[in-house]
Amino acid sequence: MGGLRICKYKTANAPFFIKRISVNIYTMEELCYYIYHNFALVDDSVMNEDLFSWLENELELPRFAGILRQNVSGGASYRKLASLLLDMAGYCGKDELRSLFSSMDVKNTKPGSQMLKTVADRMLENHKYVKAIREYASILHLRNRDTQTDEFLGGVYHNMGVAFARLFLYDQAVKCFAAAYEKNGEQKSMEQYIAAVKMGGTPIENFVDEGEEDIGAKLEALVLEASRDETGKRLQQLRQLKEEGRSEEYKQALQELLHEQKKECVKNISV
């Protein structure tokens, strides 16, 4: 699946809200994309009367809604409902549907922690950082830790650290990145640990041996990477103002940037 798709259905005035990952859907194409790429998350939080009413009233597709309701009355599985919707919408061909069915069979045997991580990762992608942290924490508190590999747990800790860092909670982020590195040994986790420390997080004693880790080089790489985004560019401009002795301009620009970051943070932590 790839490339552009032309929307041939109406765009809704009011969205369908997928509660589990806090995403608004406005078009049939968006709904089908979500179902196709997130089959493991398709359950009664998606396939329910709210969706059928939305299809009927917002997208003006009463036939689609009626067929889905009939199948629900007949005891159809979520897999069956999802395939019906994809088929009716013409989103994918028969071969793709067969492949999707085969993949959906995996859903029934997929470990609970894997399912939770999929949910948490989607929340992280959609800037729902507090909700993502809760989901990651629930994974770490699962009793069946013997089914969770170090690589998997490293990914959980790393992404949890990202969520904390985006909330400016650098002490918590430092701990998560350190735990991630201890589990997966991946360079990116070490680099994010260093970055979180430099942003104000409390370092973990004896965690990094500065004689072995070329921290200076890592930080230069991180600064270079950060300088490529808009916030990084603005920080460079602020630094230049300060170096030039333009203190008043520097203070004013800094306050404006902090205000914008605070507003963005408040928006993203809403639950």
Domain ranges of the chain: 16-107, 112-226, 232-268
**By C-alpha distance, which of 194, 223, 222 is closest to 207?**
194
Q: What is the mean pLDDT of the chain?
A: 78
Q: Identify the residue with better confidence: 267 or 85.
A: 85
- Which superfamily, per CATH, for 112-226? Tetratricopeptide repeat domain (1.25.40.10)
Is the pLDDT reported for residue 95 higher than 60? yes
Mean pLDDT of 2-18: 73
User: Is 60 exceeded by the pLDDT of residue 127?
Assistant: yes
Q: Residue 267's pLDDT is what?
A: 47
pTM: 0.55
What was the pLDDT predicted at 143?
A: 58
pLDDT digits (tens, 9 = 90+) for 244-261: 888 888 778 777 766 666
Grade residue 49 by pLDDT with cuts at 50, 70 and 90. very high
